[in-house]
Structure formats: structure tokens, C-alpha cells
Structure 1
Amino acid sequence: MREHLLAEGTVAELSRETLRRILHTGGVSWQTTTTWKASTDPDFIPKMRRVLDLYDHPPDDGRVVCVVCVDEFGPLNLQPRKGKAWRPQRRPSRQRATYTRTSGVMHMLAALDLTTGKLFYRIKDRKRWIEFLDLLKALRARWPGEKLYLVCDNFSPHRLARVREWCAANQVELVFLPTYGSWLNWIESEFAALRYFALNSTDHRSHTTSRTPPSPPTSAGATPAPNPRPTSRSTHRSEPGPVTRSKLRDKPLGRRTGSWPWPPYVGRP
């Protein structure tokens, strides 16, 4: 920036330290540019408030209710994934390069239980309405006597008539997000953590191994044992508990209290 200002004649002389102080005083920093799609849904505000109200205040109509966020994660293909890891200085880890991938892709159909914070999932090679309905039936079997509120996006298999008819007949209410409002789905934050902690820096050679959470390194001859990845004392949640939201109801969804347990997909419906 200093060179640009001098070349354009904006200033006669400017040191790097002076420029740094000016930017710091003005609250200007170098930031990443990303994309953002604003919702075009005319009912965005009512739908958003409906979803956030379910998060904060599950319905209390005399019946036991369960609020579950549902979505698809993927596609999961077999390729080396970049990431970060502790390494000796000037000795970064390197992944192989792949140009031909013949093993196909898989998809995760997942459901986040906001009461316990647990993420249930299924791995399928397709994500049609058939697979989605199978997931809903499994969730119905897991909570047989409860009214289910399923928060989901507007993916066409979610809105199919057969799916909605089955939901109406089995005490399952689909709560659709506003158009281009998938960020309101709480499960998206879990997917981000899943990608960062479980997928990055991996190079799985088969879909079978890609479903197995990594074990910590052990000494020669030792038997690997399941062990959660370390988390800071301020974010670790020792006991499963309800997911809570502390932001104002009309503000964008914030991060939930506590960290997701490792592995997050501890059960399958």
C-alpha cells in the first residue's frame, strides 16, 4: 500500500511504521474476501424467528418434543486434503497429488440433536428422497414417543410430497429455512468443525477408512486407545447437554456454548 500511495502521488513521503499506525488508528486491517448470498425470501424474518425460537424455546404443549437439525454433508471423495499440524520447523508435511479418482463419492446424511449435542449420521452413495426418508424413519424410531421438529433447508428431496405426507402421518414437522439461509441451520457449524478436525490433513485410500476417526500417535508396540482430541478448558464440555444460543433472537446465529464431542458422530440412528 505504501508503494502504491507514493507511486500515485497521494503523499510525498510515508514510512511503513506511519502507515501501520494510521491503519491501526482507523481500525483497518488486511482481511480475507469471501462471498455472501443475501436471502431473497419474502418471508425471511418470520422463518428466521421461527427457527431461532425453536432453538431457544422448544414447544411446550404437554408432549415431549425433540428439535433436530438435519442436512447433507459432502460429497466425500477420496483425495488428499490440506490442513495444519504440528511439525518441526522447515519440515512441513506433504500430501500426494491425485489427478485420477475412480472410487466415486459418498454423502453423509446427518442429524444434530439439540438436546444432547450429539450428531447422528449415515453414509450413503446417493442423497435422494429415498435416503432422506430412511433417515427420518430411523430418527422416528430413535424417539418413538416424541414430537419431532426437523430443521432443514429447501433441498428438493426434503420437500417431496411423499416425504411431507409421511411426516404429517408420523408426528414429524419439517421446519424449512429461508431461501439462501442455510447458515441458520445449527448443524452447519458442526460440519465446519467436522471438516477442520476430522477431514483436513487426511489422505484416505478407501471410503471405509475415511469413516474411522483418527487415533492419536502411540509409541512402538503400544496399543492405540480412543482418546478425545485436546480442547481448551474454556470450551470443553465434559457432559452432554443442551445446545444453547446466547445471541439476540434477531441477530445472526452465533457459535453454540461448548465444543462438540470427539468423535461427534458417536451414534447412528
Structure 2
Amino acid sequence: LHPPRHCRILCLDEKTHIQALERLYPTLPVRPGWVERQEFEYLRHGTVDLFAAFDVLTGQVFAQCYQRHTNREFRHFLRALRSRDPDSRWHLIVDNAGFHKKQEVLDWCAAQRPKVTLHWLPTHGSWLNQVEIWFSILSRKCLRRASVRSTQDLRNLIHRFITTWNTHFAHPFEWTYTGKPLAVAPQHYELLAA
């Protein structure tokens, strides 16, 4: 991928309804012959919605937590994101969520100088959005074992993870999919039907 100079390519999406769970009992750590055991009982302290932008070239993530995920929050997120780099042209890759196509969002993008261009992924193509890979990392490395006492604690945990990611682990994701399995798939379907 070789974008023009002074151009940013960002994959945007939202991870909704992240639960602020407080475990009632401590997780039992790994020991020889035993796997880690996590108590299934918890108190639920609400949810958080996370908007995130993954920079395709650097792997850096910018994200903000909100109570809801409407076009109002999305526009607020875009303005905050834009304030970090107002002098570059932007190409934003987004899915087909309704609020990504609201007139207010389109008007905001059209009014930006340098230009901000939205690119919508095809229907059922969210797996093409690289921020989804990062959401998976966030879930596995940060959220799965978390025990928090409030939505504010959850927000702080997420933002600490993002800071650590950007400081120590940020890297562009390397695409390895070639499309070849799709060429083989119809043969497998014939075998299954037989």
C-alpha cells in the first residue's frame, strides 16, 4: 500500500456494549497441571461503546469511549480524530452502519480541507476492516479477564491498553489472504451435497 504523501488511511468502527463486569471472586492463576480458572459470577456495572480508528500504515490506534453509538457520537469522534492531524488528506474505511451514511456525517466530510473521503466496505465485508483485528486483540488481551467496578474503570482500562499498544506494540497488519480457498470451495460443496 503506497498512499500519496500527506495522506492517512484509517479503518474506523465501533465495538458496542462492552460490559463493565466486576468478578465476585478472584481468578485462580495457572499452576502446574491446572489451567487458569475464572469465576463465572459477576456484577454488571453498565456498558461502554468504543469508537476506534486504526492507522493502516503505522498500526497506531485512536479511540474514545461513549455511552451510546449514534451519529452524534460518531461525529464527535471524527472531530476529535481530525484535530490530531488536520493537515492531511484522509481516507476513512467504514462499514455500512446507518450513522456512517447520515447527511450530517457526509456534510462534515465534504467541508473538510484537506479532503476527508469515506469508503464503505461491502455488505458482510466487515472482516475486511483492519480495526476488527485490533478489536480482537483488545478483547483477548484486555477485556476477557478484566474485573472493574464502574464504567469509568473500564474506560480507564481501555485507554491504558491503547497507550501501551501505541507505545510498544503498534504495527501494520500484514494481509496474507490470497483468495485461493474461495476457488476451492465449490468443490467442497459438491462433496458435502453427495
Shift of 1:153: 0.3
Match of 1:144 in 2: 86
Task: Quote the offset at 1:91 in angstroms.
Answer: 7.4
Q: Which runs of structure 2 are paired with 1:189-228 in the superposition (5 Å)?
A: 189-213=133-157
Q: Out of 125, 131, 151, which is 1:181 matched to?
A: 125
Q: Equivalent of 2:8, from 66, 83, 86?
A: 66
Match of 1:232 in 2: none
Distance 1:197 1:248, change over 3 A: closer
Identical amino acids, percent of aligned pairs: 31
Aligned position for 1:95: 39
In structure 2, what residue type is equivalent to 1:247?
T
Give 4+ residue runs of structure 1 displaced > 4 Å after superposition: 237-241, 248-252
1:108-153 deviation per Cα after TM superposition (whole angstroms, max 9, x unaligned): 0111112321111111001110110111111221111110100010
Instruction: Flag the 1:85–1:152 CA change in 2: closer, same or farther, 3 A.
Output: farther
Output the TM-score relative to the length of structure 2.
0.75
Q: Please, what TM-score do these two structures have when normalized by structure 1?
A: 0.55
Question: What code does the residue aligned with 2:154 have?
Answer: S
Query: Whole-Å Cα distance in 2 between the matches of residues 76 and 239 of structure 1?
Result: 23
Aligned equivalent of 2:68: 126
Q: Deviations over 1:18-76 (max 9, x none)?
A: xxxxxxxxxxxxxxxxxxxxxxxxxxxxxxxxxxxxxx232x2xx51000111001211
Question: For the Cα contact (< 8 Å) 1:80–1:95, is it kept in 2?
Answer: no
Q: Contact 2:46 / 2:151 at 8 angstroms: preserved in 1? A: no
CA contact (8 A) 2:20 2:149 kept: yes
SS at match of 2:156: coil
Match of 1:168 among 110, 123, 141: 110
2:29–2:35 CA contact under 8 A, matched in 1: no
Partner of residue 75, structure 1: 17
User: Do 1:80 and 1:201's aligned partners in 2 also have CA atoms closer than 8 Å?
Assistant: no
Q: 2:99 aligns with which of 137, 146, 157?
A: 157
3-state SS of 1:211 partner: helix
Alpha-carbon distance in structure 2 between the residues aligned to 1:130 and 1:71: 14
Shift of 1:92: 4.3
1:202-241 alpha-carbon deviations (Å, 9 max, x no partner): 2212112223349xxxxxxxxxxxxx79xxxxxxx96855
Contact 1:71 1:111 survives alignment (8 Å):
yes
Bigger helix fraction:
2
Give the match for residue 107 of structure 1.
49
How many Å apart are 1:93 and its aligned residue? 3.0
Q: In 2, distance between residues paired with 1:195 and 1:249?
A: 26
CA 91–141 in structure 1, closer or farther in 2 if over 3 Å, else same: closer
Which blocks of at least 5 consecutive residues in structure 2 are unaligned? 159-163, 182-194
Letter paired with 1:57: H
